[in-house]
Amino acid sequence: MKTKFTPGPWKIGSYDDDGDLAIVTKKQTIALLDQRMIDSKAMIDDDINKANAALIAAAPEMFLILQEYLEKYMDIDETDLNNRAVSILKKARGE
């Protein structure tokens, strides 16, 4: 099934000198991760910001691997885990 989101790979890039990060492809910026917390002057820790960026950047690859796994094994093993995986793929597709 064709997805609507921008295909990967997505990478982590630097957005500015304040430690804010961007998730980018070769052609576009997907997301910006600002270290400032909403409604606060506090800042998100650098390590947490980098970990969040890494998770977001890996999303397209995780989606494709999970989709491939389900195409191969869903008919063989209809477990609760597989059903939850189907649900998360639907969520990622905006269904």
> 């947490």: which residue's tokens?
48
Model confidence pLDDT, tens digit, residues 56-86: 999 999 999 999 988 887 777 677 888 888 8
Model confidence pLDDT, tens digit, residues 19-68: 788 999 999 999 988 777 666 667 777 888 889 899 999 999 999 999 99
Beta strand spans in 1-95 (E): 11-14, 21-24, 29-33
